[in-house]
Amino acid sequence: MNRTCLIFAALILVSMMGISVSAQPRPQTSGPKPSPTPLPRPSATPVAGNVAVPESRIALIDTAMFGDEKNGIFIYIDAAKKVELEFRPRTSELENLGNRLNALATEIKTLRQSAVVDQKTIQAKQAEGERLQKEATTKKERLDEDVTTRYRQAISPISNQIGAALDQFARQRGITMTLDMSKLLPAILTALPAVDITLAFIDDFNRSHPRAAPAPAPKP
């Protein structure tokens, strides 16, 4: 079966070094992002017991593929990039804090390895590191909250569009059930390639929901 893995890595979330002043690992600057998976919709009304169950036609779709840079849902990808650009200044600020903390850690290590250990200088640098750590932690928490809120605002309408389009796509093809194989992959042992409707659905959605001008690529 053609199984496509998510290539779309977190667009806006840049890792920073964690901060224990004497051996600083970088704090993560990434905030949680909503999944491109279509939002859940109300379940169907149960069929009365005396009504014949229709013949089932099950299809698979890989919603993780929606965020693929080249083959995914373009309006979703463009919306995510725009959010990334909005938060780029704050992300860069956190990166700079991480770099300063790394420099302090190196300085402290060098001072401790010197022939004459200057405890007063070490303590001053440790205090500075603790201050920077608190600042970075506070700013990261606020950034995570703001990123999550902004992504929900930007992505939820698109998720609703995807969900409605997927319903229509399935009905038009007589599909009675669509399973998300990105969540069920370990449980799927065999399947015919034709059962995977991922690329067909994405192509259909992109034609009916064309992108505007693509978002500019984020600076490295």
Strands 26-28 and 15-17 turn out to be: antiparallel
Residue 100 to residue 195: CA distance in whole angstroms: 52
CB 38 within 8 A of CB 163: yes
Write down the pLDDT at residue 7: 29
The answer to whether position 142 is within a domain reads yes
Residue bearing the bigger pLDDT, 183 or 172? 172
Write down the pLDDT at residue 13: 31
Residue 61 lies in domain: 57-208
Distances from the Cα of 201 to the Cα of 2, 103, 149, 215, angstroms: 15, 50, 28, 23
Q: CATH number of the domain that 166 lies in? A: 3.30.910.20
Write down the pLDDT at residue 30: 45
Average pLDDT of the residues of the chain? 79
Residue 11 to residue 81: CA distance in whole angstroms: 7
Write down the pLDDT at residue 28: 42
Write down the pLDDT at residue 56: 83
Note the pLDDT tens digit of each residue in 135-178: 999 999 999 999 999 999 999 999 999 999 999 999 999 999 99
Note the pLDDT tens digit of each residue in 30-68: 444 445 656 555 555 665 667 777 788 889 999 999 999
The answer to whether position 71 is within a domain reads yes
Write down the pLDDT at residue 21: 32
The answer to whether position 14 is within a domain reads no
The answer to whether position 144 is within a domain reads yes
Residue 123 pLDDT greater than 80, yes or no: yes
Residue 99 to residue 88: CA distance in whole angstroms: 16
The answer to whether position 64 is within a domain reads yes
The answer to whether position 23 is within a domain reads no
The answer to whether position 126 is within a domain reads yes
How many CA atoms are closer than 13 Å to the CA of 6, on its beta-carbon side? 18
Show the DSSP H helices in the chain as ranges: 74-86, 88-113, 119-172, 181-184, 198-208
Strands 26-28 and 177-180 turn out to be: unpaired
pTM of the model: 0.65
Segment 208-219 mean pLDDT: 70
The answer to whether position 80 is within a domain reads yes
Count of the separate structural domains present in the chain = 1
Write down the pLDDT at residue 186: 79
Backbone angles phi, psi at 172, to 5 degrees: -65, -25
